[in-house]
Amino acid sequence: MNKLFIFFLFVLFCSSSHAQYEKNPFPKTITVAGSAEMEIVPDEIYVQVDLKEYEKKGQGKISIDRIRQDFLNSVKTVGIPDSVISIAAYDGYNGNPWLRKKNKKDELMASITYQLKLKSSKQMDDLVNLLDDNATQNFSITRTSHSRLEQLKKELKIQAVKAAKEKARYLSEAIGEKIGEAVTINEPTEYYFPIQGYAMKANTVMQDQNVSGEPVQSVDFRKIKLKFDVNVVFSLL
C-alpha cells in the first residue's frame, strides 16, 4: 500500500514538472527596448481663412461676393486646386434680403470662412501676399501633416524592432549567449509631434517686409517629429 502511494506521488511530481516545462518553453530570455525616430518637413498644411465685408472710402461696402471672387482668383493664381478648398462657415448673409439691416451704421456685414490644404510654406506666403488686407480677418494654420505619414510610420516601426534585435544580439554575446526566436513583440508606442493651432493676422503678415520693401525670405515649417518605442522578448540559446 505504501509502495503504491509512493508510486502515485512520483507520477504526480513528474506530471507537475512536465506541466511546468510545457508552460515555459523558453526558460532563458532577454527583454530589450528598441526605438526609431525621424523628423519630416510637412507637405500638407491646413489653413483657415476668415473673410468679411468692409467699408471702403469712396466705394461703400465691398460685398462678400466680390471678396469671395477675389479670394478664389488669388487661390487659383498660386496653383491651389479646387479639390483642397472648402467652406467651413458662412455667416450674416444667405441671399435673403430681409437678413440685411437697413440702418446706415448697423448694416449687416457678411463673413465667410474657407479651409485649404497647402503643400508648402512658400505656397502659403504667396497666397498671403495676394489677400485683401481689409477683408481678411484671420489666417490660421490649424494643423500640419505629411502625404506619406502612414508609410513613414510603418517604416519606423520596422526600424524600432530591428534596433531591438540588434541590441539583444550584442547584449547576449557579452555573456556568451546567442538569441533565438522572438517570444513577444509589443505594438510600438507612438510619439507624434505635429504643429497645431498657429494663427496670425493677415494684415500683420502682409506688412512683414524689410526696409527695401521686399518680402522677408520664407522660413520653412518646424519639422514634424515621429518616434516609436518597442519592447521585444527573445529566447536565449
For 208-217, what is the mean pLDDT? 45
**Is the backbone of residue 213 left (phi > 0), alpha (psi -120 to 50) or beta?**
left
Residue type, 94: N
Query: What pLDDT digit, counting tens, does each position of 112-169 carry?
Result: 999 999 999 899 999 999 999 999 999 999 989 999 999 999 999 999 999 999 999 9
Domain boundaries, the chain: 44-145
Does residue 182 carry a pLDDT above 70?
A: yes
201 vs 32 pLDDT, higher one: 32
Question: What span, in angstroms and rounded, lies between the C-alpha atoms of 45 and 50?
Answer: 16
CA 209, CA 219: separation in Å to the nearest integer?
14
18 or 120: which leads in pLDDT: 120
Predicted local distance difference test score (pLDDT) of residue 109 = 83
For all residues of the chain together, what is the average pLDDT? 81
Structure confidence at residue 225 (pLDDT): 92
With 0.75 as the threshold, say if the pTM is over it. no
CATH number of 44-145: 3.30.70
What confidence tens digit (pLDDT) does each residue in 193-209 have?
Answer: 876 555 444 444 444 44
* Cβ atoms of residues 197 and 125 within 8 Å: no
* Amino acid at the residue 171: L
